[in-house]
Structure 1
Amino acid sequence: MNIINNLKTAVLVAVCALCCAQASAQPSNKPHLKNNGNATQLVVDGKPMLLLCGELGNSSSSSISYAAESLAKCKQLGLNSAIASISWEQFEPQEGKYDYSLIDGLIKEAEKNNLKLVVIWFASYKNGLSSFAPAWVRRDQQRFPRMIGPSIEGLTGGADQASYYKNILSPFFEASWKADAKAFAQLMKHIKETDTHHTVVMMQVENEAGAYGVDIDRQPVARKLFNSAVPQELLKYLHTHEADLTPAMAKAWKARQTKAGANWKETFGTVAIDAFMAWHFARYLEQVTAAGKKAYDIPMYYNAWLKQPKHEGMPGRYPSGGPIHSMLDIYRAASPSIDLLCPDIYHPEFKRYCLAYAHKGNTLFIPECRPGEDMAAKATWVMGERAGIGFAPFGVERIQEGTSLTECYRVLSQLMPYVTAAQGTKKIRTVFKQVIPKIKGVNVGEWDFDAGELEKEDAGSIKVSMGNWVFDVSYTNQLKGEAAFAMFIQLSDDEFIVTGRNVRMNFECKDNAKTAELIDAEQGEFEGGKWTVRRRLNGDETAHGVAVSFPTSIDVFRPETQQDIVKLKLYSYKRVAQP
């Protein structure tokens, strides 16, 4: 009997030890961000991961059955992850009573389709409004006060100057953020306890927060605060980081009145309303984010409805107080718990907004983008040239199979180990020809860029230098209606992986006394991580060793939409014979 009891005790001790080990191991294995050279990467299950992603429509994950079909479509399109929402109104339909069925169902369906999830918390703010707050919040205006603002006519200086209660929770009241934070913490706690496979890799807190249709809250408490001194916490942050401020904030900071107790207008001048509302929205979001991270600390981000050039100086035409590019410093000061500030880009000048949000210390992730035939080029450029962690067109379940995005994600999935290893170094370069409609006065507010940082929209070619070599890239239109782009990954001094669409590249040496040519070019695929050659390219396909085009040539056995991968090796020889 003693032997049996001792055996039982030993087994019990072993099981307890195993459980403790598993419990202690989970935090170290949870999704997190990690620096790699000059890049910050998302690490999932111990490996850096690129989110080859898409965002579902606003209502597509509101039921498990529709979400199941949507996530199955994501798998068909070749995604490795999807962005789906959980709304506060569905998660906490009655105060204090939580419904976990939808988040559990989303995780289950994602796992079934071998997808990771980025979960949006639709709660206090969605597109500058509060339409996803629960009915018990929206009905109780006394406990959860609304913002007060003008009509659209009044906002634009029209005759109607009356004030109205808006469908926007005021960020100036503690009861609102406490209720939101409590629910979000409960959601994160549940994910931590049940998501044993780390299917959920990142969280978006709210959606395009701010106040749409309102420039500044007319609640008495807000009026009083606007005319009061700017918080010392913010002033200290701006002073400490003044060498790294965004251009718009640096301009306002330089022109500020430095008297003691200066109010928002005296401190921030023409951007005072933006700064004031950004501070208070960010403080509200910080309470929610901090509560969620305390329950389960995985990467989290805020996304932004962008301030477009035609709305310069017109808060309310974009959600006032949101994380627009000129207010990134305010958000960093007010919300230290957040990891990323991300742009939703529907504007034609995609690259410039990416550069605006690639501000010091902010890793690039595009959670929403306009679908189109340039999606492949944009996704490749974000992850290759800007060391971004992912890309997501909006309404991805409506995208048809066989598009350039499917091919792009197929290729990036194969190249992921090489891309992530090269991010943050000079071993990877990406270019794409951005086509911008002729819109008068297009700019990005106060942002300026160095010459050469963006190739001109009508440029016929661009030169890319890597090591001792120069790729002279010409943009073509072989595949009608598709964007031209190319990615280069340097494996060794003279070896490269290259992929792209609608480009032709010739090779040069940095040493003008030498000529560069191909010594080897293989079209193929990485199958199970191993390089498999489909064709060795020479003759017409390489112009006899001096160029490679993408597509490499018409492959009669594969669809024209297929994106090629080529491993190439260069060599050089003296250009001029010795006399």
Structure 2
Amino acid sequence: MTSPQLENHLPFLRKTGGAWELIVDNKPYLILGAELHNSSMSSARHMESVWGKLRAMNINTVLGNVTWEDIERDEGVFDFTELDRVLVAARSSGLRMILLWFGSFKNGSSSYVPGWVKTNTRRFPRAQIRDEHGSLTLSDSISIFHSECVMADIKAFTELQRHLANFDRQRTVLMVQVQNEVGLLGDSRDRSLQAKKQFNSAVPNDLVRFLSSQFNNLQEDAKEKLGRFQDTLSLCHPSDQRSWEDWFGSSVYTDELFMAYHYATYVESIAAAGKRAYDIPLFTNAWLPKPAVGGGLGNLIAAGGALPGSYPSGGPISNVIDIWHWLAPSLDFVAPDIYDADYTATCDTYKRGGRPLFIPEQRRDAHGARRLWEAIGSHLALGACPFGVDSLEPESFAYTAQYKLLGSLETLILRSRQDSKRTFGFYFDEFEGQQADKGPPIGVSFKEFDLLISRAFVFGRPSPGCGMIIEIHVGRYLIIGDGFKVEFKSRSATSTFTGILRAEEKSVQNTVTGALRTERVLNGDETRSGKWVNMPSENPDYGDGFIPLLTPAGTRIVEAQVYSIDE
């Protein structure tokens, strides 16, 4: 049976084998995305100078915000003129878009609500937080314990979705993010009267039942921080009427769970209404804790800290993400914004349970660009997008070359996912002076061979590197990237020798079909006579060496066939 999205050519998510695909124009689509600065899309005229740069950066998808204050300056009067101009310009530039709805919340505050919401605190009460002296103060965040703001946000977001359904017939918009990094900054929970009343009331029975039945399946840090719950449960029944502190103890993590329950419920109400109006993929994103930083709740800008309130308390981070998945089913996935957090562990957390992985924000420098390959190659991400790219030039943008290479190989990468072929992405960071190499060799096992990936062979100082490997067939690999080398070893217990049968430098002849063309046959110095496949950087360091054994990166694509001798 054909899905309604397929019949209507709407973008949608589909799982094929073990990989999620974003289907656009009825075929899989790899997001080579980037997010704009917050104020860029408020003006179509400003964006006129940006579109060309984005195309030159080899971006195919632009993440940009549409704000409540811009589309509903007067209550009940909606104006999409500026947004429409932006969408038309994106379309004529050959770019797709992911819209970010800055509604009730953006980065833990309510700075993008319309003026008629900001100034009417009786109708739209604010959250109250403790200041550094312990005194209650008004925050710049709407309290989620009142219904007026969520109802107004539902109305505005539904109007946006309806407008997209009618105006965006070419399906320029692929997905919509619902709010941005929700949660409460400055305190672990809302201290307003209505919030305190809820906190001191009985925990909703559905949450107690969920935790009692699913506790062993929660994230490990959730089980650690909610350990008191199991002790309490052993002494009473899930239907018992107990307050939040009675069930979970007195801690900032109890506060965070309380806020997460209500934020997830709030966002779900908005997402569900929006999805009824226009059924394209919806998600929300998470501002992650920064464990290396203390928990002070001072004047925070973007980095945050380790304790709830130093990052937005109640947002969908790892120890409450299971609550979010349960309470917000209208969201197709939850997406992490990765700046300082452990990249691998974060990707593992957000794709846990076989969920789609998408990274709407990450570093825009070379550090971030290298990690793109892990996201795409190892975690099968829909995309991993740097933030704030429109203030850079294409030649200084670290992703320009990476996106060019990935874009040329999009068909092959997506086909490998459809065929459930093993792929592996990796990176090696730079290291300076006398620092120890932070990129030790990486071992990975494929069907019949173990591969050892290490920095590219040079006489001098090794460069950073990144790339991915696709297992085309048993013993046959497509090796993509630069700054590394790959060695092979048979997994057979009786093997006495493993070597490279043939290595060919390839280029993409047809991006639509994925057809490759052989540019060179590699042997001798380029493979250490069959010992490894060396993927050099653009400027390999000769150090004190003078024999010209090193060649710079070419197409950055090599197909290698490996063999072993068994005795």
TM-score scaled to structure 1, two decimals? 0.85
Work out whether residues 229 and 264 of structure 1, in 8 Å CA contact, stay in contact via their aligned partners in 2: yes
Taking the aligned partners of 1:470 and 1:55, their CA distance within structure 2 comes to 38
Bigger shift: residues 306-315 or 141-150: 306-315
Taking the aligned partners of 1:265 and 1:563, their CA distance within structure 2 comes to 60
Identify the match of residue 523 of structure 2 among 532, 535, 538. 538
2:270 is the counterpart of 1:278: no
Taking the aligned partners of 1:514 and 1:55, their CA distance within structure 2 comes to 51
Work out whether residues 373 and 481 of structure 1, in 8 Å CA contact, stay in contact via their aligned partners in 2: no
Identify the match of residue 242 of structure 1 among 197, 215, 219. 215
Cα-Cα RMSD: 2.7
Structure 2 partner of 1:18: none
Taking the aligned partners of 1:231 and 1:397, their CA distance within structure 2 comes to 45
Identity of aligned residues (%): 31
The secondary structure found in structure 2 opposite 1:392 is strand
Work out whether residues 455 and 462 of structure 2, in 8 Å CA contact, stay in contact via their aligned partners in 1: no
Identify the match of residue 118 of structure 2 among 138, 145, 148. 138
Work out whether residues 358 and 382 of structure 2, in 8 Å CA contact, stay in contact via their aligned partners in 1: yes
Identify the match of residue 224 of structure 1 among 197, 200, 220. 197
Identify the match of residue 374 of structure 1 among 367, 370, 382. 367
Distance 1:163 1:482, change over 3 A: farther
Q: Deviation per CA, 1:507-533, whole angstroms, max 9, x where unpaired?
A: 221125232222222212213232122
Structure 2 partner of 1:308: 290
Q: Deviation per CA, 1:92-121, whole angstroms, max 9, x where unpaired?
A: 111111111122122212112211111000
The secondary structure found in structure 2 opposite 1:51 is coil
Q: Deviation per CA, 1:491-549, whole angstroms, max 9, x where unpaired?
A: 11232111122111122211252322222222122132321222222221111222111
Work out whether residues 343 and 353 of structure 1, in 8 Å CA contact, stay in contact via their aligned partners in 2: yes
Work out whether residues 302 and 342 of structure 1, in 8 Å CA contact, stay in contact via their aligned partners in 2: yes
Bigger shift: residues 494-503 or 55-64: 494-503
Distance 1:561 1:237, change over 3 A: farther
Structure 2 partner of 1:452: none
Q: Deviation per CA, 1:183-242, whole angstroms, max 9, x where unpaired?
A: 111111111112122111111111111111132112211101111111122223333433
Q: Deviation per CA, 1:142-197, whole angstroms, max 9, x where unpaired?
A: 1111111122x1xxxxxx22212111111111110010110111111111112122
Structure 1 partner of 2:300: none
Structure 2 partner of 1:288: 270
2:473 is the counterpart of 1:492: yes
Q: CA deviation at 1:128?
A: 0.5
Bigger shift: residues 409-418 or 296-305: 409-418
- Describe how 1:557-572 pairs up with structure 2 within 5 A: 564-572=556-564
2:171 is the counterpart of 1:191: no
The secondary structure found in structure 2 opposite 1:57 is coil
Can you give the 5+ residue segments of structure 2 that lack an aligned partner in the other structure? 296-305, 541-547
Q: CA deviation at 1:253?
A: 4.8
Q: CA deviation at 1:296?
A: 0.5
- Describe how 1:243-392 pairs up with structure 2 within 5 A: 243-256=216-229, 257-258=232-233, 259=236, 260-269=240-249, 270=251, 271-309=253-291, 310-311=293-294, 314-347=307-340, 349-392=342-385
Distance 1:236 1:527, change over 3 A: farther
Taking the aligned partners of 2:155 and 2:431, their CA distance within structure 1 comes to 44
2:42 is the counterpart of 1:62: yes
Taking the aligned partners of 1:509 and 1:97, their CA distance within structure 2 comes to 68
Q: CA deviation at 1:75?
A: 0.9
Taking the aligned partners of 1:146 and 1:213, their CA distance within structure 2 comes to 13
Distance 1:370 1:327, change over 3 A: same
- Describe how 1:15-94 pairs up with structure 2 within 5 A: 28-94=8-74
Structure 2 partner of 1:524: 506
Structure 2 partner of 1:548: 533
Q: Deviation per CA, 1:56-85, whole angstroms, max 9, x where unpaired?
A: 001111100222322321111001111011
Taking the aligned partners of 2:214 and 2:453, their CA distance within structure 1 comes to 39
2:404 is the counterpart of 1:410: yes
Taking the aligned partners of 1:361 and 1:520, their CA distance within structure 2 comes to 37
Work out whether residues 414 and 526 of structure 1, in 8 Å CA contact, stay in contact via their aligned partners in 2: yes
Structure 2 partner of 1:10: none
The amino acid across from 1:570 in the alignment is: V
Work out whether residues 407 and 561 of structure 1, in 8 Å CA contact, stay in contact via their aligned partners in 2: no
Work out whether residues 538 and 545 of structure 1, in 8 Å CA contact, stay in contact via their aligned partners in 2: yes
TM-score scaled to structure 2, two decimals? 0.87
2:493 is the counterpart of 1:508: no
Work out whether residues 71 and 82 of structure 1, in 8 Å CA contact, stay in contact via their aligned partners in 2: no
The secondary structure found in structure 1 opposite 2:122 is coil
Distance 1:573 1:117, change over 3 A: same
The amino acid across from 2:409 in the alignment is: L
2:150 is the counterpart of 1:177: yes
Distance 1:418 1:175, change over 3 A: same
Taking the aligned partners of 1:88 and 1:266, their CA distance within structure 2 comes to 39
2:428 is the counterpart of 1:433: yes
Can you give the 5+ residue segments of structure 1 that lack an aligned partner in the other structure? 1-22, 154-159, 438-455
The secondary structure found in structure 2 opposite 1:472 is strand
Work out whether residues 256 and 308 of structure 2, in 8 Å CA contact, stay in contact via their aligned partners in 1: yes
Structure 1 partner of 2:299: none
Distance 1:355 1:97, change over 3 A: same
2:458 is the counterpart of 1:465: no
Work out whether residues 465 and 481 of structure 2, in 8 Å CA contact, stay in contact via their aligned partners in 1: yes
Count residues in correspondence. 526
Structure 2 partner of 1:451: none
2:414 is the counterpart of 1:420: yes
Taking the aligned partners of 2:429 and 2:216, their CA distance within structure 1 comes to 31
Taking the aligned partners of 1:554 and 1:148, their CA distance within structure 2 comes to 56
Taking the aligned partners of 1:564 and 1:166, their CA distance within structure 2 comes to 52
Work out whether residues 52 and 391 of structure 1, in 8 Å CA contact, stay in contact via their aligned partners in 2: yes
Taking the aligned partners of 2:248 and 2:431, their CA distance within structure 1 comes to 33
Q: CA deviation at 1:404?
A: 4.2
Q: Deviation per CA, 1:404-423, whole angstroms, max 9, x where unpaired?
A: 41121112112222322333
Taking the aligned partners of 1:64 and 1:480, their CA distance within structure 2 comes to 47
Taking the aligned partners of 1:198 and 1:77, their CA distance within structure 2 comes to 22
Taking the aligned partners of 1:242 and 1:436, their CA distance within structure 2 comes to 42
